[in-house]
Structure 1
Amino acid sequence: MATIVITDIAWPSPAIETGLAHAARHEILLAESDEHLLALAPQADAILTCFRRVPGEVLDAAERCLTVARYGVGVDNIDVARATDLGILVSNVPEFCTEEVADHTLALTLATLRNLVPAVDATRGGGWMPQTQSPPRRLRGLVFGVIGFGATGRAVAERAAAFGFEVVVSSRALAAEPAAVPPTVARVLDRDDLLRVADVVSLHVPLNAQTRHLIGAGQLAQMKDGALLINVGRGGLVDTEALRPELESGRLRVALDVTDPEPLPADHWLRSSPAAIVTPHVAFASDGSLVELATKATSNALAVLAGRRPSSIVNPEVLTSGISRSNPQ
């Protein structure tokens, strides 16, 4: 019997994980805090993680651990380099929530440009006319900029085009292969040109050393007056404090499903900014996506424990390094 340690979950219970683990005659332990995770690490044959950080300190303590499986696409909360050094396979669940994140991106866009939040607040407060500085925007003809054109960026472009936006994209892959540009995309631009022409800028790139603070004061200054910045990727893509003067002046608006820090402190200025819509990192969630996520992430961990390859390997070099703790076939 092996032990699978779950660092955290974003749903009511680990029922799916427990059922799959028990069927394979393994046990599940759920960490309640960072300190508890570190204490449980020596018992872990596998680690399942959602948002909690799995730093080198935890991996060093997890001397039996064969694999770390991420609930999700990005692995910026896992010290992948240290896991690789230790011969620990890291897996993820790519594209499980492409449709949900794309839908959420357009929902944030529509809610902002149609001034839905002030309208709802007005009626809930007993009034009728929302207090806003400007009327809702007509969508057709506005320029929707997509930075990053993986599966989610492509799905967002399709939806934006359907609403009548002119879609422009910043993507090195598309720039290098013009024949691959889909009909939903009007133009492929470099990032700076996109920032200057777009009425909406939506971020769909992973967070790493090169993309941290991809949008800072300099990039915000390039954006059009009245433009909307959307981030449903990772909070660290945007320099949060650089947003403050742009939002307080009313020059820009933001719609964020992810923030830096995350979660925001209860008294953080961004929570009460009238120029911001902030949702609590829920773009990935739906009744279907959560079941798929829990099932696939757990199955990845169970595969390694059974000596099989997981469906997606983040650090495949472990398999050829000669130091892998597992030998999946």
Structure 2
Amino acid sequence: MTERPHALFAMTARNVPAVFPPRLLERLRACVDIDPALVAEDFTAPRVRQALARTEVLVTGWGCPRLDPAVLDAAPRLRAVLHAAGSVKGFVTPEVWRRGIAVSSAAEANARPVAEYALAMILLAGKDVFALRDDMRARRAFPHDGVLPGVGNHGRRVGIVGASRVGRRLIELLRPHDLDVTLADPYVDDAEAARLGVRLLPLDDLLRTSDIVSLHAPRTAETRHLVDARRLGLMRDGAVLINTARGALVDHDALVAHLRSARLSAVLDVTDPEPLPPGSALYDLPNAFVTPHLAGSLGNEVARLGRAMVEEAERLTSGAALRHAVDPAVLERTA
């Protein structure tokens, strides 16, 4: 029997049992030699340094320390990083790529609950659920007589900003619904948009013509305040902005001004800063629905991330290609 490669957990220790519950941990330990009691929250502890010297596979997650040259020097046998979470930007340094270390991420698995959240919010926003619920609470009676012009999801225009993993998954989830879905993404051409089953529009045109806009672009220097005062001004009266991507994509001061005028509504699972300061108007505005960054994997969903990386470990040790390998060439324009 081939000897199992040595592996080491590198993440916040309390997350290990949730991300790798017993059955998944058993599968992981069947293909790599890993000690669940030894978790590197930093790389300076003597036991961790000793383990690094023989580590071939790092199983990482939220809270993984940066893999800088000094850490990599202490891990001369390292050949793969399996990240049981989303983005690797926070800890994978250029030196990792220079040394030819393979990196895989559960970003695709993490995209699923974000897309599900966005789908739910799109459908609820189309029915004007948030405002009508508040109206009913205030009146203690139905706020309508059964007919509400302008409310409903039949033929509603939904604009997706960013054909990211989440954006693409959301497009799939929207397909069975009777909606008109458009996409803005500078890296997608008409042929690819057609394969996705959406119509490609310039961002300004998408904002100008959509009833609901859902943001799924990464945070980069170019996308900071992508939706600024000018672009918020393009959105049609009564439109809804949904952000499950990064708070910095939206100019919050400009957004608050539009919300105060009651011209727009917003569903924000991410903000800038995060969390919002206690005095933020977004907590109190009736047309702002703010949730505590819960669209991504939480609770029982995090085991899906662990499963994705257990499957990658099984591929790695069998000699198969990694399915979720991170491409450094496109990392800068991804989440």
TM-score over 0.5 for the pair: yes
CA shift digits 1:27-67 (9 cap, x unpaired): 13456xxxx536557455425123x474466x644632654
What is residue 170 of structure 1 aligned with on the other side?
184
Shift of 1:230: 1.4
Give the whole-Å Cα distance in 2 for the aligned partners of 1:146 and 1:22.
Answer: 41
Pair 1:15 & 2:21 matched:
yes
Identity of aligned residues (%): 30
What corresponds to 2:33 in structure 1?
25
C-alpha displacement of 1:195: 1.2
Partner of 1:48: 60
Residues 197 and 69 of structure 1: is their aligned pair in 2 closer, same or farther, counting only changes over 3 Å? Answer: same
Q: Which residue of 2 aligns with 1:95?
A: 108
The amino acid of 1:102's aligned partner reads: A
**Cα distance, 1:12 vs structure 2:** 4.3
Deviation at 1:204, TM superposition (A): 2.3
Q: CA deviation at 1:289?
A: 5.1
| Match of residue 229 from structure 1 | 241
Distance 2:326 2:81 in 1: 10
Match of 2:295 among 283, 290, 297: 283
Code of the residue aligned with 1:139 in structure 2: it is N
CA-to-partner distance for each residue in 1:222-257, whole Å, 9 max, x for gaps?
222221111223333333344222223322222123
In structure 2, stretches of 5+ residues that fail to align are 1-5, 330-335
Unaligned stretches of 5+ residues in structure 1? 318-329
Per-residue CA deviation, residues 77-109 of structure 1 (Å, 9 max, x unaligned), is 334435334654432124325553333212112
1:181 matched to 2:198? The reply is: no
Summarize the alignment of residues 1-329 of structure 1 with structure 2, pairs less than 5 Å apart.
2-7=7-12, 9=15, 12=18, 14-16=20-22, 18-23=25-30, 24-28=32-36, 29-30=38-39, 36-37=41-42, 39=44, 42=49, 44=52, 45=55, 46-50=58-62, 52=63, 54-55=65-66, 60-61=70-71, 63-64=74-75, 66-85=79-98, 88-120=101-133, 127-129=140-142, 137-160=151-174, 162-172=176-186, 174-177=188-191, 181-182=194-195, 184-185=197-198, 187-265=199-277, 268-285=280-297, 290-300=302-312, 310-315=322-327
Partner of 2:333: none
* Alignment RMSD: 4.0
By how many angstroms is 1:288 displaced?
A: 7.9
Aligned to 1:177, the other structure's residue is in SS state helix
Preserved CA contact (<8 Å) 1:145 1:198: yes
Whether contact under 8 Å (1:112, 1:277) holds in the other structure is no
Tell me, yes or no, if the aligned pair for 1:118 and 1:130 is still in contact at 8 Å: no
